[in-house]
Amino acid sequence: DIQMTQSPSSLSASVGDRVTITCRASQSISSYLNWYQQKPGKAPKLLIYAASSLQSGVPSRFSGSGSGTDFTLTISSLQPEDFATYYCQQSYSTPGFTFGPGTKVDIK
Amino acid sequence: QVQLQESGPGLVKPSQTLSLTCTVSGGSISSGSYYWSWIRQPAGKGLEWIGRIYTSGSTNYNPSLKSRVTISVDTSKNQFSLKLSSVTAADTAVYYCARVILSLGYCFDYWGQGTLVTVSS
C-alpha cells in the first residue's frame, strides 16, 4: 500500500504569510496527488487536483507542484479564511485512495 | 449543482451493522464519468477512505476494512449505500459520501455534509 506523509503536522502563521506544506508518497504516484482544505465541522473541499491544477472557484493564491513522490501546496499570501487543516490524497494506486495525516494551519 | 446527502442511524450497537445511504441530486449516479465513494473521520483525526463503487456495481475497498464492508448502488433511486458489519467503538466517526471524478485525476470533487455515527450500547 502507498503511504502518505505530510510536514509539518501543524504550523502557526500570520495573515499575509507565504505558507508551504509538503506531502510525500512512499512510492512514485506520478501526478496523482490532490489537496483538500477542511474547516471544523465541515466536509473537505477540493483545492488542487492532479498535483498542480487549480479546482474551479479556488483562489489563485493556492498552488500545487511536484510529481513522483514529493509534492507541495503553497498559499502565497495567507488570508483569514485559510486557517484550516489541509490534506493530501493519492489517487494512483488500486484498490484505493490514501490520505495524508493532515497539516493544521492556525493563527500565530 | 451536484449535491450529496448522507442518511442513516446515528447510533449503532457494538457487533451490529452500520448502514448508511447517500442520495445524489443534481446529476445522475449512472454517469460513467464518476466513482461514488465513502470516507470516514473519527473525531479529531484524519480522513480514511472506505471504498468506492462504479455505476456498473464494480467495487474496491480499503484492505483494512474489506472483510466488513459492502457498498452498493441503486441507480433507480440515484443512491449508493454503505454497510459495515461487526462494528466496534473504533468505527465511531463522521461518515462522508463523495463523488470521484475520473477526468480530474480521480479526486473527490463533491462531498456530502457528513453524518456522525456513534457505536455504543
- DSSP for chain B, written as a single string: --EEEEES-SEE-TTS-EEEEEEEESS-TT-TTEEEEEEEE-TTS--EEEEEEETTS-EEE-TTTTTTEEEEEETTTTEEEEEE-S--GGG-EEEEEEEEEGGGTSEEEEE---EEEEE--
Please state whether the peptide bond connecting residue A59 to the residue before it is cis, i.e. omega within 30 degrees of 0.
no
Q: How many Cβ pairs closer than 8 A exist between chain A and B?
A: 70
Phi and psi, residue A103, nearest 5°: -130, 120
Per-residue pLDDT at B104: 87
Q: Residue B60 and residue A34: Cβ atoms within 8 Å?
A: no
Chain B nearest CA to A95, separation (Å):
6
Per-residue pLDDT at B105: 87
* Residues forming beta bridges with residue B28, ordered by sequence position: none
pLDDT digits (tens, 9 = 90+) for A45-60: 999 999 999 999 999 9
Task: State how far the Cα of A47 lies from the Cα of A52, in Å rounded to an integer.
Answer: 10
pLDDT digits (tens, 9 = 90+) for A40-98: 999 999 999 999 999 999 999 999 999 999 999 999 999 999 999 999 999 998 668 99
Q: Could you list the pLDDT tens digit for every one of the 121 residues in chain B? A: 999 999 999 999 999 999 999 999 999 999 889 999 999 999 999 999 999 999 999 999 999 999 999 999 999 999 999 999 999 999 999 999 999 998 888 999 999 999 999 999 9
